[in-house]
Amino acid sequence: MKILVAGAAGQLGSLLPEALSGHRVEAIGRDRLDVADLASVRGAVRSARPQLVVNAAAWNRVDDAETDREGAFRGNALGPRNLAIATAEAGIPLLHVSTDYVFDGRAGRPYHEYDAPCPLSVYGQSKLAGERAVRELNPRHFVVRTAWLYAAGRPNFPSTMISLGRRGPVRVVDDQVGSPTYAPHLAEAIARLVATGAFGTWHMAGTGQTSWCGLTRRLFERMGLASEVTAVTTDEFPRPAPRPACSALVSIQDPTITLPPWEQGVDEFCRAVA
C-alpha cells in the first residue's frame, strides 16, 4: 500500500516510515506541506496518489494555545479538516492522531473510546474540533487518541527531567495522572491498526497509568540518577493551560493492538538515551 505521512519531522511522524516498512511510505514535513492550506493538501494527495494518509502533524504547544487560539485551531482543527476533505475526494482513508486532553479528567478512571470528551484547555478544544472534522468529512477514518507521547532524541518531558535530574533535585506534579506512551510503541501499533481496516476511534497509549512524579521516579531509577524527586500539587506548579487530573486511556477495541505497559516504554527510552 502507498501511504502518505504528514508531519514527518515530529516525534511520531519520524518513526512511522520504519514502522510501516512493509508499505511504500512517503513522509513529508511542514516545509513541503502546510496542512492548514487546503490547496497544498489537495496538491500533495494528487501528487503522491496514496491509498492512505496518516496525519501526524499537530500544534502541540499546550500552554501557548491559551493565548494563540488561532494558531492552535489552524494546526489542530483546520489541518485535519483539510486532510479529511482531500482524502474523501480521493476516496481513501485518513488516520488522524489526537490526544487524551480532549477529556476533562473528572471521571476519576481511565477513559475508553466511547466516553464523552469535554476538554479543559484551548489545546484540547482544538484537538477535539479536528477529530470532529475528520469524522464528519471522511467516513473512512481512524482517529487514534494517545497520551504523554515521548521519544528518544527529542525535546519532551522525560528528556527535560533527566537533564534537570543530572543537576540536582526536582519537584514534579503528582496529582495529574495519565498513560505515558513511548512513540516507537505507538508507531508499531498504528502499523497494526491500518492493516485491519477497522475504522473508528481508537485509544492507543502505554498500558497502565502513573503521575508525572511517578514517571520521573521510574526514569531516575532506570538512569541511575540519585537526585531527590519531590511530589508537588498542580496548585504549587501553575501553568497557563488547565490539565485534566486523570486522563489515562484504555481501549475496549481489538486487544491485539494494545501497547506495552508504560514502564516498558520508559525502560526502552532509557536504554536509548543512556
Q: Could you tell me how far CA 183 lies from the centroid of its own chain?
A: 8
- pLDDT tens profile 216-242: 999 999 999 999 999 999 999 999 999
All domains of the chain in start order, with CATH: 2-210+239-273 (3.40.50.720)
The candidate with the shortest Cα–Cα distance to 174, out of 212, 200, 143, 138, is 212
The tens digit of pLDDT for each residue in 12-63 reads 999 999 999 999 999 999 889 999 999 999 999 999 999 999 999 999 999 9
Q: Active-site residue among 101, 111, 123, 150?
A: 123
The 3-state DSSP class for residue 49 equals coil
**Do residues 113 and 74 lie in contact, with contact meaning Cβ atoms separated by under 8 Å?**
no
Check pLDDT > 90 for residue 274: no
Q: What is the pLDDT of residues 139-170, one digit of tens each?
A: 999 999 999 999 999 999 999 999 999 999 99
The grid coordinates listed for 264 are 516498558
Average pLDDT over residues 1-9: 95
Q: What is the pLDDT of residue 272?
A: 96
- Does the structure show a pLDDT above 90 at 268? yes
For 203, the enclosing helix (H) or strand (E) is strand 200-203
Query: What is the per-residue pLDDT across 181-213, written as a single tens digit (0 to 9) for each?
Result: 999 999 999 999 999 999 999 999 999 999 999
83 Cβ contact list (under 8 Å, min separation 6): 6, 35, 41, 53, 55, 94, 96, 134
Residue 114 designated active-site: no
Predicted structure pTM score? 0.96
